[in-house]
């Protein structure tokens, strides 16, 4: 049995509240995705904003009703067995406002322990253990509103472990965190899988995070899974192709569209007026690319050959950078 | 117990800020004073023969105090759903709680009960203040005798409020819509003036509000009437408890189903 088994899952959102006798238009957010997550696996859904990652997580955590297809979590049907699933899973939702800021860390965990039916005799010990684990025990009585973004996220993770879930869903767990906090969260997630044998499904649009953390990754775009493999397996899709990164100033956006090579913008630095382009260009073509860019009025700041990354896989599969 | 956890959480957040508690009590008192003094000014004194003949209570401050406190409590569950859920939706905490195995009905009931509890404490202070400031004669047996009717009223208020619980999940911002009902109840339930001065149609319409019967029964008990004498109002309350709980629950289930198609979050 797989921890998560998703078959042809679909989800459409109504543009207006679907009241009886009201004709409503629907927007398809998830378009028939299928994947399986093994027990003890760290599985990533990687994709740009609006790709359908959060919708998928919400369906699997029984917060949303799917429009079609089916899914099982720990062998339970998401439509019929919502309560059974909720007892065995937990979720770190996207954003920092998922906890009660006017309660302390301890009070938050106490509240969630009760609504997750944690046995009363285990409650105190569990809360202390979790707060120590995320390094917040000394600040347990402080109101969450006085915590930093990183501390709030650590508490959100502690909350997600309150019922000792078998499967953990993490929606963009490092979004908006400073580098130090993001590193802590990533290491913590990896430990949960390696040491506590938890199954984790996380969504991210950070390629490095997906590459560093996940055992397998499904790349999702416009509601469809366009590739699914291990990070190294995915990178094999661009094996032998040279990834080139060019940093330029005064780039003409129209100019790069007319070039015969597929170059996409992966970074824009508005303050410095620079743009970083990335694409697959052979060694022979590289001088021609540079020359063409210069002709469009761009000033070349640097040209680097890079090891292929998941970004290159995404570019190859979609023709766009993940940031789009 | 999950229900207890929801109540404890709400109470903690409310009483954590003494200024908020103080302001709530102050608002309660100021509105009471306004209504009582306005009523007395219109009547030309605190005693009214019209009130006495139609409701049994001729003393306007007593009449208004009972009506006002019950009105405040009657809208409490509605406010809990409308503003409480809305606040959770805005905070982003609603989805986090809904994702837990606690039943959503239990979650919402906890919210309504906690608000009712907070408003009861608040109104107790306002009531005592009103009794002292207007020299209202009151005896403990009368207060104790009115408690079962008050509990029955709470049940009906909770059922009435449930109608709004589903609507707020679906439509998110129904505050202005709910306010129409809140003030309709103030107007149609005989809180500040007797209903028999209103047209017959309005009197009939007022029967659908639990507050109308709650106010009538408790005022009657305050004048020394027995439970048997207030049986018509109690019977109405029992019917409305059933009606609003069944209607409210059915509407809530439908709204919840629709919300699961659209998503709980998103403000």
Instruction: Tell me what the pLDDT averaged over chain A comes to.
Output: 90
CA pair distance A212, A229, nearest whole angstrom: 14
Q: Does A26 touch chain B (CB under 8 A)?
A: no
- A322 φ, ψ (degrees, to nearest 5): -65, -30
Pair A193, A161: CB distance under 8 Å: no
**What would the mean pLDDT of B183-199 be, rounded to a whole number?**
86
Substitution target in B99, B108, B110 with the highest count of A β-carbons within 10 Å is B99
Helices A179-194 and A149-160: angle between axes, nearest 10 degrees: 20
Closest-CA residue to B93 (of A191, A236, A294, A144): A144
Tell whether A100 lies on the interface with B, counting CB pairs under 8 A: yes
CB A247 within 8 A of CB A293: no
- pLDDT tens-place string over residues A28-49: 999 999 999 999 999 999 998 8
Domain ranges of chain B: 2-262
Rounded to whole angstroms, the Cα distance separating A40 from A67 reads 28
- The DSSP string of B38-98 is HHHHHHTSSB-HHHHHHHS--BHHHHHHHHHHHHHHHHHHHHIIIIIIHHHHHHTHHHHHH
Contact B113, B11 (CB under 8 A): no
Cβ A20 vs Cβ A213: under 8 Å: no
Q: What pLDDT sits at residue B33?
A: 94
- What pLDDT shows up at residue B266? 56
| Structural domain boundaries in chain A | 4-236, 242-307
Paired sense of beta strands A42-46 and A26-37, if any: unpaired
Burial A177-195 (b: 16+ CB within 10 A, else e): beeebbebbbebbeebbee
Which tens digits make up the pLDDT trace of A53-89? Answer: 999 999 999 999 999 999 999 999 999 999 999 999 9
Alpha-carbon A226 to chain mean position: 15
- Rg of chain B taking only CA atoms, in angstroms: 19
CA distance B96 to chain A (A): 6
Which percentage of chain B shows pLDDT scores above 90? 62
B266 interfacial to chain A (CB closer than 8 Å): no
Highest mean pLDDT among A236-245, A251-260, B237-246: B237-246
Q: Answer for the pair B12, B29: CB distance below 8 angstroms, yes or no.
A: no
For residue range B215-224, list pLDDT tens digits in order.
999 999 998 8
Distance CA(B86)–CA(B79), nearest Å, equals 10
**Six-digit token string for B54:** 């139609």
Q: In this predicted structure, which of A183-197, A222-236, A249-263, B46-60 has the lowest mean pLDDT? A: A249-263
Q: Is the pLDDT of residue A288 over 80?
A: yes
**pLDDT (mean) for B15-19:** 87
**pLDDT band, very low/low/confident/very high, at A318 (cuts 50, 70, 90):** confident
pLDDT-based confidence at residue A323 (cuts at 50, 70, 90): low
Over residues A99-106, mean pLDDT: 95
Interface check for B37 against chain A (CB to CB < 8 A): the answer is: no
Using the predicted structure, report yes or no on whether residue A324 has a pLDDT greater than 50.
Answer: no
**CB contact (8 A) between residue B170 and residue A17:** yes
* B106 CB burial (10 A radius; 0-12, 13-18, 19+): middle
pTM tops 0.90: no
- Beta-sheet strand order (sheet of A224-229): A89-92, A167-171, A199-204, A42-46, A216-221, A224-229
A232 exposure class (CB count in 10 Å sphere: 0-12, 13-18, 19+): exposed
- Yes or no, beta carbons of A65 and B261 under 8 Å apart: yes
A116 vs B4, B91, B101: nearest CB: B101
- Between chains, do A83 and B93 touch, taking CB under 8 Å as contact? no
Structural contact between residues B110 and B5, judged by C-beta atoms closer than 8 angstroms: yes
Query: From the CA of B207, how many Å to the nearest CA of chain A?
Result: 29
> Considering the domain A4-236, what is its CATH architecture?
3-Layer(aba) Sandwich (3.40)
Query: Which has the closest alpha carbon to A94: A9, A160, A162?
Result: A160
Residue among A43, A19, A21, A23 nearest A33 (CA):
A43
**3-state DSSP call for residue A88?**
helix
B107: which chain A residues are within 8 Å (Cβ-Cβ)? 115
B253–A contact, CB cutoff 8 A: no
Please tell me the least confidently modeled range out of A156-165, A255-264, B25-34.
A255-264
Quote the percentage of chain A above a pLDDT of 90: 60
Read off the pLDDT band of B87 (50, 70, 90): confident
Cβ-based contacts of A111 with chain B (< 8 Å): 5-6, 8-9
The CA–CA distances, whole Å, from A320 to A48, A230, A253, A307, A311 equal 10, 21, 14, 18, 9
Name B6's Cβ contacts closer than 8 Å, sequence gap at least 6.
A111, A115, B102, B106, B107, B110, B111, B114
What are φ and ψ of residue A163, in 5° steps? -100, 20
Tell me, what's the pLDDT at A132? 95
Alpha helices (H) along chain A: 53-60, 82-88, 105-115, 120-133, 149-160, 179-194, 207-213, 231-235, 253-257, 286-295, 310-318
pLDDT value of residue A137: 95
The packing angle between helices A105-115 and A120-133, to 10°, is 140
Q: Which residues pair with A263 in a beta bridge?
A: A279
**A242-307 fold:** Alpha-Beta Plaits (3.30.70)
Residue A133 is predicted with a pLDDT of 92
pLDDT grade for A280, boundaries at 50, 70 and 90: confident
């Amino acid at each position: 049995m797989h921890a998560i088994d998703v078959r042809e899952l679909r989800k459409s959102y109504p543009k207006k509240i679907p009241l009886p006798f009201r004709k409503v238009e629907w927007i398809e957010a998830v378009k028939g995705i299928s994947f399986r997550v093994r027990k003890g696996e760290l599985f990533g859904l990687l994709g740009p904003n609006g790709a359908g990652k959060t919708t998928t997580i919400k369906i699997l955590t029984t917060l949303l009703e799917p429009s079609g297809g089916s899914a099982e979590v720990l062998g339970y049907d998401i439509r019929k067995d919502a309560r059974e699933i909720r007892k065995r899973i937990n979720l770190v939702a996207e954003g920092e406002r998922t906890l009660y800021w006017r309660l302390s860390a301890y009070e938050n965990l106490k509240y969630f322990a009760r609504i997750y039916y944690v046995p009363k005799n285990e409650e105190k010990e569990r809360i202390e253990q979790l707060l120590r684990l995320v390094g917040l025990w000394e600040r347990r009585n402080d109101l969450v509103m006085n915590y930093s973004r990183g501390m709030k996220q650590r508490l959100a993770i502690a909350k997600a472990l309150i019922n000792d879930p078998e499967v953990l869903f993490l929606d963009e767990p490092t979004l908006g965190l400073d580098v130090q906090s993001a590193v802590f969260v990533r290491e913590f997630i990896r430990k949960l899988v390696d040491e506590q044998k938890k199954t984790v499904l996380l969504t991210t649009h950070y390629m490095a995070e997906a590459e560093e953390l996940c055992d397998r990754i499904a790349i999702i775009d416009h509601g469809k899974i366009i590739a699914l493999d291990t990070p190294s397996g995915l990178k094999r899709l661009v094996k032998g192709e040279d990834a080139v990164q060019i940093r330029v100033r005064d780039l003409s956006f129209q100019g790069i569209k007319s070039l015969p090579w597929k170059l996409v913008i992966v970074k824009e630095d508005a303050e410095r007026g620079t743009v970083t382009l990335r694409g697959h260009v052979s060694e022979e073509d590289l001088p021609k690319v540079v020359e063409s860019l210069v002709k469009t009025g761009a000033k070349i700041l640097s040209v680097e050959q890079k090891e292929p990354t998941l970004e290159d896989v995404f570019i190859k599969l979609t023709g766009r950078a993940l940031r789009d | 117990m999950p229900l207890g956890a929801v109540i404890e959480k709400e109470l903690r957040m409310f009483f954590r800020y003494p200024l908020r508690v103080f302001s709530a009590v102050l608002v309660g008192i100021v509105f009471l004073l306004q209504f009582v003094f306005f009523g007395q000014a219109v009547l030309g004194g605190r005693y009214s023969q019209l009130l006495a003949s139609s409701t049994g209570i001729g003393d306007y401050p007593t009449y208004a105090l009972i009506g006002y406190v019950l009105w405040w409590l009657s809208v409490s569950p509605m406010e809990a759903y409308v503003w409480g859920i809305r606040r959770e939706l805005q905070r982003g905490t609603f989805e986090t709680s809904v994702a837990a195995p606690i039943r959503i009905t239990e979650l919402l009931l906890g919210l309504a009960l906690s608000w009712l509890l907070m408003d009861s404490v608040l109104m107790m202070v306002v009531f005592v203040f009103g009794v002292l400031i207007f020299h209202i004669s009151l005896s403990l047996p009368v207060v104790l005798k009115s408690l079962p009717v008050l509990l029955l009223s709470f049940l009906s208020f909770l059922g009435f409020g449930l109608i709004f619980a589903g609507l707020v999940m679906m439509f998110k911002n129904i505050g202005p819509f709910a306010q129409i009902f809140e003030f309709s109840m103030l107007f149609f339930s005989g809180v500040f003036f007797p209903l028999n001065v209103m047209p017959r149609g309005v009197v009939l319409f007022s029967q659908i509000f639990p507050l109308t019967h709650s106010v009538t029964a408790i005022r009657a008990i305050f004048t020394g009437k027995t439970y048997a004498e207030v049986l018509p109002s109690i019977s109405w309350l029992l019917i409305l408890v059933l009606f609003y709980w069944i209607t409210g629950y059915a509407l809530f289930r439908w709204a919840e189903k629709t919300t699961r198609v659209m998503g709980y979050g998103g403000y």
